[in-house]
Chain A
Amino acid sequence: MPPPLRSRAASQPEAPLLEVVNLTVRFGSPVGEVHAVEGVSISVGAGETVGIIGESGSGKTVACMSMTWLLPSPPARYLSGRITFKGEELRRNDEAQLRKVRGSGVGMIFQNARLSFNPAYRLGRQIEEVLRVQLGRSARAMLPEMVQTLRYCNIAEPEAVLGKFPHEVSGGVAQRVSIALALLSRPDLLIADEPTTALDLLSQIEVLSLLARLRDESGLSLVLVSHDLGVVRRIADRVIIMYAGRVVEEGPASAIFAAPRHPYTQGLLASALQQGDGERLYEVPGTPPDLASLPPGCSFRPRCPFAFDRCVTMPELAPAGATHQARCHLLERATEHA
C-alpha cells in the first residue's frame, strides 16, 4: 500500500487562486437540451489540491474545460457563470486575455496524453512550438531547462524522448511529458482531467506520485478530476463530488472519506474495494440520469435508498459541518430531529 500523499499544510485559502461562481453550461442536442453543468461553484486556493469526483457525464470535464472558457460556443451554451483567476475576472470574449491565461497561468493535462500530442510532429518539436508561443523564447535557450524538467518528471532519457513521435512512447511516458510541458510555462494552476485513467497500474502510481511531489515542492495548485476515489484520496486536500451536473457534496478530503453525508458519496465509498473485504462489492443501484431529461427534484432520487417525500424538490447545498457541505434533504431532517 503506497503511503498517503496528502500535503502537509492543508492550506486555508485567503483569496482563492481560481474561483468559479454559479457556472451553468448546456448543450443543444436532438433529444433535448443537455444540462451538463448546473450552477456549479468551485474555488481553488493557492497551493491547494482539489479533487473532483464524478461518474462519466457528471459534468466534471465540462466544468474543468470551462475554467478557461475552453469549450467552443456553439455548441456549448454558457447560461451563467463568473470566473476569477488571480483576482481578475476572465471574460469569455476576451481572446487575448484568455490566451495569456491558458498559455501561462493554467496548465492542463488530459486523459490520453498520447492523443494530446499532434501525431505529425516529434515530441521535441511540439514542446518547442508551445514554448515559443507561450514564452517567446527560442528552443535552444530552453533546452537545458527542458531536459531538467523532463528529468524531474522521471523521464530517464529526455533527449531520446524528445526525438520520438507520440505513438513511439508509452502512455505513462507521454503523460509525464505532457506534465513537464505544462510545468515549463510555470503555471499557477494545473488542471488534470482523468490523468491516470488510460494508464496501467504502475504508470498510474508514477504519475500520481509525480503530481503529489509537484504539489508539495512547487506550491502549484492542482485540480484533479477523476472517477477513481483511490486516486483522489491519495492527493486531494479538498474533494468535490459531482452528480448530474451539480455539486452534491464538498469538503475536506478527511471529512468526506471519514463521514460522507450525501447518499451518493456513501454509495461511491461503499462500492470502492476495501482491502481484505471478502463480501460482494456494493454498487450504487441504477444508472446515471439522462442529462437531457432530468427528473424533477433531486437528480439522485431515483437511485437513492433513502429517498422520501421531500426529495421531489431540489435540495440546496447546505452546511454539514464547518467546511463541509452536502446537497441532501436528509441534512435538514437530521437538524430538525436534533
Chain B
Amino acid sequence: MSASVLAPAAPRSARLQALDAFARDRMAVLGLAVLVLAVLAALLAPLLTPYDPTIGDQNAILVPPFSPGHLLGTDDQGRDLLARILFGARLAFPEAVIPVLAASLAGLALGLVGGFSRTVGEVVMRALDVLFAIPMVLLAIAIAAALGSGLPTVVLSMAIVITPYIARVVATTAAQLRSAPFIEAARCAGFRDWRIVHREILPHAIPAVVVYATTNMGAMVVFAAGFGFLGLGAQPPAPDWGAMIADGMRSLASAPWLSTVPGIAIVVVSLAFNYIGDGLRVALDPRLRSRL
C-alpha cells in the first residue's frame, strides 16, 4: 500500500492494534507456534530423520513407540512412523492450504459480484445455492471420483466445495454495504462501480474471509485426511495421514499407535488452525478488539 502524504502516522496504527490483540490471545499464539514448528518440520524433514518414509526395515517391524531409534515406532512394513508423519506433513499442508486459498480468491470474486450487483448478482447467488444444496462431502467425493484419485484431484474438489461458503460470507458483507451511506457518497463523487467494489467494499470483506479461511484450513486438514482414509488422496506408498489411519485400522488391537499417531498429528494441526482463526477474528474486528 502506498504511503499517504495526507495521513501522517497516527499514534498507533490499526495494524499494530490488531497485532497487539492477537499477541494477547494465548491460544492463538500457541496455535501459531505449533503451526510454525510443524511447517518447519515438514520443510526440514530429510534433515530431521535418517529414515525414508516409504522404505521399510524388515528387521524392525511393528516396533512400539519410544523405542531406541524409532521414537514413534514403526508400522507393519518396518517404516519409521516419525519419518512418515514428517513427510506426510508435506502432503497435509498443501492439501489444507491450497484449496482454501483458491476458494478464497474465487469466493471473493463471486461474492463481490453476487452481493453488489442486483442483476448479475442474483444469477451468481442462485447458482451457488445449487452447490449449497448438495452435501459438501458428497459433492467433493463425487468430483474426486469423476476425476480420478490423486493429490491434484483432492485439491481441486475441495476448492470447488468451499468456494460457495466463502462467496456467501463475502456476498453478505457486500450486500450489507451496498446501500451504506459511504457507498452512496462514493457514487455521488462519481466513482465507477468497479472502483466502489475494489476500493470501498473489498477492504471490509477481506478480514471476514481471512478469518473464515484460516478456520477452514483446520477443517480441511481433517477433510483431506478423510479423502486419504477413503483412498482418494495421495496413493500408497505416499505417507498420507488419512491413509495411515486406514492402514493402521487392520492392527488396531495389536498395534494401536499406527492409527493413533497420525490421528494426533491431524488433531494438533487442525486445532492450531482453529485457534489462529479465533485469534484473528478478534484481532481483525475493531469492536471485539476494544473489549480486550
Contacts and interface: CB of A to CB of B under 8 A. Distances in A.
A85 interface: no
A72 B118 contact: yes
A133 B181 contact: no
Interface stretch (A19-27, A157-165, A240-248, A272-280): A157-165
A115 B181 contact: yes
Interface string B175-210: 000001110111111111001000110011000000
A294 to B, nearest CB: 25
A124 interface: yes
Contacts of B133: none
B5 interface: yes
Interface stretch (B6-14, B77-85, B150-158): B6-14
A156 interface: no
A117 interface: yes
Given A115-B180, A117-B185, A133 B6 contact: no
A120 B181 contact: no
A140 interface: yes
B262 to A, nearest CB: 43
B67 interface: no
A102 B182 CA distance: 15
Given A70-B188, A102-B187, A104-B190, A122 B10 contact: yes
Given A72-B118, A120-B204, A140-B5, A99 B185 contact: no
A162 B118 CA distance: 34
Given A104-B190, A108-B185, A120-B204, A164 B10 contact: yes
Contact of A103 (B4, B14, B189): B189
A132 to B, nearest CB: 10
Interface string A90-118: 00000000111111100110101001111
B189 A115 contact: no
Dominant secondary structure of chain A at its interface with chain B? helix
Given A72-B118, A115-B182, A163 B188 contact: no
Contacts of A237: none
Interface residues of A, number: 42
A146 interface: yes
B182 A118 contact: yes
Contacts of B9: 163
A119 interface: yes
Nearest to A134: B190
Interface string B202-242: 01100000000000000000000000000000000000000
Nearest to A101: B190
Contacts of B195: 133
B189 A112 contact: no
Contacts, number: 85
A127 interface: yes
A143 interface: yes
A68 interface: yes
A103 B190 contact: yes
A186 B9 CA distance: 29
Contacts of A165: 14
A128 B4 contact: yes
Contacts of B185: 108, 110, 116-117, 178
Nearest to A127: B6
B241 to A, nearest CB: 40
Nearest to B8: A163
A267 to B, nearest CB: 31
Contact of A108 (B6, B14, B118, B188): B188
B5 A133 contact: no
B245 to A, nearest CB: 44
Given A124-B7, A127-B6, A128-B4, A74 B188 contact: no
B189 A130 contact: yes
**Residue among B10, B182, B184, B187 with most chain A CB within 10 A:** B182
A163 B184 CA distance: 23
B180 A99 contact: no
**Residue among B190, B199, B204 with most chain A CB within 10 A:** B190
A208 B5 CA distance: 31
A115 to B, nearest CB: 4
B182 A117 contact: yes
Query: Which 7 pairs show the lowest CB-CB distances between chains A and B?
Result: A103-B190, A124-B6, A116-B185, A115-B181, A122-B7, A124-B7, A102-B190
6 contacts: A70-B184, A98-B190, A110-B185, A118-B182, A128-B4, A163-B9
Given A103-B189, A129-B199, 6 more contacts: A102-B189, A110-B184, A118-B182, A120-B203, A121-B203, A139-B6
